[in-house]
Amino acid sequence: MIFWSFFASAALTAPIPNPEPLITRFAPAPTGFLHLGHVLNAIYVWDIARASGPDARVLLRIEDHDRARSRPEYEAALLEDLQWLGFAADGELTRQSERGALYERALEHLRGRGLTYACECSRMEIGSGRYPGTCRDKHLDESGGAGIRVRLGPMRERFDDLRLGPQEQVPSDQCGDLLVRDRHGNWTYQFAAVVDDWLQNVNLVIRGEDLLDSTGRQIQLARLLGRAQPPMFLHHELLMKSPTQKLSKSDGDTGVRDLRERGWTAEAVIDRATSLAGLSRDDVRFRTRMTRRP
Ligand SMILES: [Zn+2]
């Protein structure tokens, strides 16, 4: 296996095992404008892909699985801002809203193995905690406006995060049986992302630390779907307002659109994203150069 090191002063703790070819993705949801958190993610995604060799690919996936919140004008703005920043994807973009037949086939596979059941619980009834399995043995009819869940076993999932090191999660304790499709017919983020990563042969998922808790359940779901080898994962730092407070839209100065309108250059926006992440100016120059195509 070939190994390569990320630049010396970066936050990564370990060399990255480099599958041939490396396939990663940038996968924004068109539910708002591009902000500095996306920019940091894009820097990681494109830098790692470009540094890993000429055959590495960055796929662009529009995660518009939530039909109520996704808007074409946000998608258009995301694409335009990405281009302005200098991030060019490899190949055609994909939209989750156009992949329903693939998700349906993946669901059918789980159903055929007796792993799914209908769930009539509302989000309000469940709250934000673990789903306790209320509908597991109710044998409800899927067609009556019910959601669909997949049964998770009590397995412990272990994975080696490329930045954070060895991790252990027990999804059945963390979240309970996973919602695959909600009561309104929307495919869930967890399901659509896992199916897409599998079908698109994504072998490195690069995303923010706020999604670290989702990883064990995604690895388990991928295995239930039949994926032999789960992708590798790298969870990067989030942009912080202070050591304990995550930067949010309400803090202002985070939207790429707003910064552009105020005359910022692409380099300055990339600089801002990396400095908020605690990375050095030298890294910024290196990254900026790396992410630009001739
Ligand atoms: Zn239920």
| Ligand 1 centroid to residue 137 C-alpha, Å | 10
- Contact, 57 vs 82, CB < 8 A? no
CA–CA dist 183, 81 (Å, integer): 34
What's the length of the chain?
294
Nearest to 115 by CA among 144, 89, 92, 148: 148
Question: What's the confidence (pLDDT) of residue 277?
Answer: 86
Instruction: Compute the distance from residue 124 Cα to the ligand 1 centre, in Å.
Output: 11
Quote the ligand 1 centre to 147 CA distance (angstroms): 8
Residue 284 has pLDDT above 70, yes or no: no
Taking 60 as the threshold, does the pLDDT of residue 12 lie above it? Answer: no
The Å distance, Cα 290 to ligand 1 centre, comes to 48
**Residue 251: its pLDDT value, please?**
60
Between the CA of 151 and the centroid of ligand 1 the distance, in Å, is 12
Q: What is the pLDDT of residues 206-247, one digit of tens each?
A: 999 999 999 999 999 999 999 999 999 999 888 876 666 766
Strand segments, DSSP code E, in 164-266 are 165-169, 178-181, 204-208, 232-236, 240-242, 245-246
Residue 61 predicted with pLDDT over 90: yes
In the reported structure, the alpha carbon of residue 177 is separated from the centroid of ligand 1 by a whole-number distance in angstroms of 9
Judge residue 85's burial from the number of C-beta atoms within 10 Å of its C-beta, 0-12 exposed, 13-18 middle, 19 or more buried. buried
**How far is C-alpha 63 from the geometric centre of its chain's CA atoms?**
9
pLDDT digits (tens, 9 = 90+) for 126-174: 887 899 999 999 999 988 789 999 999 999 999 999 888 999 999 999 9
Mean pLDDT of 11-22: 60
- What is the 114 CA–ligand 1 centroid distance (Å)? 17
- Tell me: pLDDT of 9 over 50: no
Q: Could you tell me the distance, in angstroms and rounded to a whole number, from the CA of residue 122 to the centre of ligand 1?
A: 8
3-state DSSP assignment of residue 131: coil
Cβ-Cβ contacts under 8 Å for 280 (sequence gap 6 or more): 9
| Residue 256, token pair as written in the block | 């790429």
| Residue 227 CB neighbour total at 10 angstroms | 17
Alpha carbons 249 and 156: distance in angstroms, whole number: 35
From residue 222, alpha-carbon distances to 70, 201, 247 in Å are 25, 12, 31
Q: Look at residue 11 and tell me whether its pLDDT is greater than 60.
A: no
- Span 58-81, mean pLDDT? 95
Write down the pTM of the prediction. Answer: 0.88
CA of 115 to the centre of ligand 1 (A): 15
Please state, rounded to an integer, the average pLDDT across all residues of the chain: 87
pLDDT at 19: 66
Q: Examine the pLDDT at 16 and tell me if it is beyond 60.
A: no
Ligand 1 centre to CA of 214 (Å) is 20
Give me ligand 1 centre to Cα 179, in Å: 9
Which residue type is seen at 134?
T
Share of the chain above pLDDT 70, in %: 84
Residue 279 has pLDDT above 90, yes or no: no
Q: What is the CA(117)–ligand 1 centre distance, in A?
A: 9
